[in-house]
Amino acid sequence: MAQQEDVFKKLVSHSKEYGFVFQSSEIYDGLSAVYDYGQNGVELKNNIKKYWWDSMVLLHENVVGIDSAIFMHPTIWKASGHVDAFNDPLIDNKDSKKRYRADVLIEDQLAKYDDKITKEVEKAAKRFGESFDEAQFRATNTRVLENQAKREALHERFAKALNDSNLEELRQIIVDEEIVCPISGTKNWTEVRQFNLMFSTEMGSTAEGALKVYLRPETAQGIFVNYLNVQKTGRMKIPFGIAQIGKAFRNEIVARQFIFRMREFEQMEMQFFVRPGEELKWFDQWKQTRLKWHKALGLGDQKYRFHDHDKLAHYANAATDIEFQMPFGFKEVEGIHSRTDFDLSSHEQYSGKKLQYFDPELNKSYVPYVIETSIGVDRMFLSVMAAAYTEEKLENGESRVVLKLPVALAPVKVAVMPLTKKDGMPEKAQEIIDDLKFDVKCQYDEKDSIGKRYRRQDAIGTPFCVTVDHQTLQDNTVTIRHRDTMEQERVAIDQLRSIIVDYVSLRNLLKKIKED
């Protein structure tokens, strides 16, 4: 674990050093849980967004996009349930004065039981070697069984407390489990209170005329309130989907772990409108489609898992998370929810407008049911960076840090480098860039030794380095070096475009999603 935390720290400083992510307002000592993306970060982020967007609106003829405003009529948040129920249970430690989410403290405790069990299994696997029967060990070992029983009991109690919104019981669980504050080490806890996560501000110039508005805590509502506009103007037939990418804001109680939990972040959400009664079929289908989208990146299939929800949100009849193995454990990156007709029916009620769809095949009108896929751009960014960050020992004894990013997502696709700054090499390098720059992001670099220049490109994940040398001037060939293998080959300049553009194209990723 300590080693993993170490990797995470390195990742955070690497992100800053190489222009991926900066603390917001850094020269004023920063603003908590708000971050800015630098010159490389913004490219990676844009590529992630394009990958998602194209996978939705290009690969599905029945999915279209919108871009709705951040400000919306305040009654929308009443109808959606956010004014009354978008709360987190918070608890303070009286000694450290630190604030925690009560549910997260208990989830961490559950993870501790899991860790204990995993450790026992690993220890036994080592001891027994080849003949180890894991299933049998799990079913018979007393320590495993004890921890398993404790975990299950805690889990049941926790799920019930959450479902009943029983704040006293949440506190009692923390007390009974003897959970201590990681800072003070004490069990001196306050009561548990509910805290609404929405930011509000005022719209309008005069105090009397001002309207209290919220910064949207999710992009989904912009889709719901526009669903009939899109359906009618786009002549959409159910089932169909609407996709949107945009900023969302949540006044998170505990904002730790870098860009994992931010107060201003970006979401990529898609609402898929279906016939009532068919929602669970579509829920399963979107679960599989979304998992394929993640796996196509090649970050490692074993790094993903589904986590089905125990506590269903007020609007859902099925829900799962896609979790990714971050340096600090498996964490939610994406949520997939079957939201029933909750939102649309509620908007009908609050707005007084009909939001029904006339189904020509069934010859009747109904409020559609909705499957939602909702993924945080920033969390996705973090998972890609975490999986890509690699420290390698080289054969010559040196080491390198390389970001093994999926090539289609890399901020810079090719760096072009003149071996020396003379004999017309810089001009030749520039000529190559002038041809490639219409297709891919290129970078020119002439400073320092070639070795150092390669390292700089490795550190930002550039898949190709092209070097212009003396031979280039004679026969119009260059060396092209591959990031992961560090192998070099000599190719004709007029082949570069097809080699590079084909290799880094998003098309390769999109095609993988469609493979069975």
Does 261 contact ligand ATP by CB under 6 A?
Answer: yes
Helices (H) and strands (E) in the chain, counts: 18, 23
Q: How many residues belong to the site for ligand ATP (CB under 6 A)?
A: 16
Among the listed ranges 23-31, 290-298, 372-380, 507-515, the one in contact with ligand ATP (CB under 6 A) is: 372-380
Closest CB 319 distance from ligand ATP, rounded Å: 8
Run of H or E residues at 244: strand 240-249
Match 């964490």 to its residue by tokens.
Answer: 331
One of 89, 241, 368, 376 touching ligand ATP (CB under 6 A): 376
Structure tokens belonging to residue 513: 């999603």
Closest CB 513 distance from ligand ATP, rounded Å: 19
Residues in the chain, overall count: 516
Among the listed ranges 17-25, 202-210, 345-353, 376-384, the one in contact with ligand ATP (CB under 6 A) is: 376-384
One of 106, 161, 223, 375 touching ligand ATP (CB under 6 A): 375
Among the listed ranges 136-144, 327-335, 384-392, 446-454, the one in contact with ligand ATP (CB under 6 A) is: 327-335
Read off the DSSP letter of residue 354: -
Does 267 contact ligand ATP by CB under 6 A?
Answer: yes
One of 92, 278, 332, 446 touching ligand ATP (CB under 6 A): 332
Sequence-ordered alpha helix ranges (H) in 100-197: 102-128, 134-140, 142-163, 167-176
Q: How many CB atoms lie within 10 A of CB 412?
A: 20
Q: Closer CB to ligand ATP, residue 38 or residue 335?
A: 335
Does 287 contact ligand ATP by CB under 6 A?
Answer: no
With beta carbons less than 8 A apart as the criterion, state whether 294 and 304 touch: yes
Q: Closer CB to ligand ATP, residue 98 or residue 309?
A: 309
CA atoms within 13 A on the CB side of 390: 16
Structure tokens belonging to residue 335: 């949520």
Q: Closer CB to ligand ATP, residue 137 or residue 330?
A: 330
Among the listed ranges 113-121, 294-302, 369-377, 480-488, the one in contact with ligand ATP (CB under 6 A) is: 369-377
User: Which has the closest alpha carbon to 481: 506, 449, 451?
Assistant: 451
- Residue 105 φ then ψ, to 5°: -60, -40
Does 290 contact ligand ATP by CB under 6 A?
Answer: no
Does 378 contact ligand ATP by CB under 6 A?
Answer: yes
User: Which has the closest alpha carbon to 499: 482, 476, 474?
Assistant: 482
State the binding string over 416-445 for ligand ATP (x if CB under 6 A, else -).
------------------------------
Closest CB 334 distance from ligand ATP, rounded Å: 5
Distance between CA atoms of 367 and 351, rounded to whole angstroms?
14
Distance between CA atoms of 342 and 458, rounded to whole angstroms?
48
Query: Which parts of this chain interact with ligand ATP (CB under 6 A)?
Result: 218, 250, 252, 261-262, 265, 267, 332-335, 374-376, 378-379
